[in-house]
Amino acid sequence: MKYTFDIIGVSPVLPFFNHQQQSWQKPKHQGVEYLGTHKCTLDAFLESVESVPVKSDWNLDQVVDTVIQFWLNNSESIRFWKVSLNAAGRDSLLVARVADIVALQAEFESLL
């Protein structure tokens, strides 16, 4: 299984929390998780990934490797998001998405 990781934006804490609560209450595509952290660091996202309830078919080592590879290959994007998070203030989170590629494709197709 292949995975993808992307930083998708900055959000105030409460709307992100509400989104997470709503997504847990309704059926959703398995294999797509949204993560939030107060820090724009690799360690913070690795900790977030490891705290996600384990998907029965996810290979956590591959997911962690995907996050690390993103971090190594996207320094400009990471700098941008770090500045954006700092500008947003302490009550904001940096939001990222980790997913298996097939599930993410299904989620995108459901939007159409």
**DSSP letter for each residue of 21-86:** HHHHHS---TTEEEEEESS-SHHHHHHHHHHSPPPTT--HHHHHHHHHHHHHH-HHHHHHHHHHHH
Averaged pLDDT for residues 81-92: 94
pTM score? 0.82
Mean pLDDT of the chain: 85
- The per-residue pLDDT for 66 is 95
* In the chain, where the domains are located: 1-8+34-98
* Portion of the chain with pLDDT greater than 90, in percent: 51
Higher confidence at residue 54 or residue 105? 105
Higher confidence at residue 39 or residue 52? 39
Whether the per-residue pLDDT at 62 is higher than 80: the answer is: yes
